[in-house]
Amino acid sequence: MKKIFLFDALREAIDEEMQKNKSVFVVGEDIGHYGGSYKVTKDLNTKYGDLRILDTPIAENSFMGMAIGAAMTGLRPIVEGMNMSFLLLAFNQISNNAGMLRYTSGGNFKIPLVIRGPGGIGKQLGAEHSQCLEAYFQSIPGLKIVACSTPYNAKGLLKSAIRDENPVILFEHVLLYNLKDYIPDKEYFLPLDKAELVRKGKDITIVTYSRMRYHVMQAVKILVNDGYDPDIIDLISLKPIDIKSIVNSLKRTHYLMIVEECMRTGGIAAEIIAQINDNYFNFLDAPIKRLSSQDIPTPYNGNLEKAMIVNPEEIVNAVKVLLF
């Protein structure tokens, strides 16, 4: 085992896959000589050259289209979005091309494409740089979507995504890159469709993902001290949602809370609530509780920004109200 930063875990995944397969390459803005905004590709250009660590102009729709075309011909591109919000400029390519071409070509083309980069609400980055876009992309057919939350799952998920034959979006949170933890020395892969049971309990199921995992775990310390025993699930896979893991927990607890950073309207929680209410309503002893960010552009002001995001105290209070 070794203890490394999350951004280094991602870098290791890319490096290992590029060594093993010459068809893997990375494309994006400032990823080469600069090493990427969060240093995920630092020094890789000196090892693999400027054609496999390919710096691009500021033209997301163009280099996304180029990467999709490369994937169609048998290459395995990794597209880094300097900020995931900027990839809205390539939404047409991601939706109408990456998501659909395998289907609309009758299976003649595969799209082994990885789209990854920083997202989520940082610290006073402003509205356009502080968006949670997972719900934007969730409705696109043909995509797989995962959100890493630890150095361990960041590396394992990225390696699996690179080897997958379908387009995969990996969401990395801008405030988790400097998170440090242990990962195995040996090579490993993680499934792209499974949630992680972070803590097993019996009183309530709390489902979360990405940075909110840590807000939930801060709340858990208080809840356990007050006599509560929560079950904690890190979704990881946002499309498809591992509903079976949630239901297996719900069979034990009969109470469900979802904590997310994305917007309340049309968010990941909304989809989970719909699926549970449609198919597993009888397991519930109370309505599902949802804690989400407010439906407003993220304020630049630090206090206002903090106020719009779910915090551990809110989680603790919501659990106590739900289980009262």
CATH number of 2-183: 3.40.50.970
Domain spanning 196-322: which CATH class is it, in words? alpha beta
| Cβ atoms of residues 243 and 268 within 8 Å | no
Q: What 3-state DSSP class applies to 4? A: strand
Token representation of residue 206: 């709390």
pLDDT, position 128? 87
| Alpha-helical segments (H) within the chain | 6-20, 44-48, 60-72, 91-92, 101-104, 134-138, 151-163, 212-225, 243-253, 268-279, 302-308, 312-322
Q: What is the mean pLDDT of each run of 10 residues along the chain (324 residues)?
A: 96 98 97 93 95 95 97 97 92 95 95 96 89 91 97 98 97 96 96 97 97 97 97 97 97 97 92 96 96 92 92 97 92
Backbone angles phi, psi at 197, to 5 degrees: -80, 105
Catalytic one among 17, 29, 80, 129?
129
Location of structure tokens 């000589």: 33
| Cβ atoms of residues 292 and 263 within 8 Å | yes
Q: What 3-state DSSP class applies to 306? A: helix
Active site residue 60: yes
Q: What 3-state DSSP class applies to 240? A: coil
Delimit the domains of the chain by residue range.
2-183, 196-322
Location of structure tokens 């979507």: 145
pLDDT, position 240? 96
Active site residue 215: no
pLDDT, position 66? 97
pTM of the model: 0.95
Catalytic one among 12, 60, 172, 260?
60
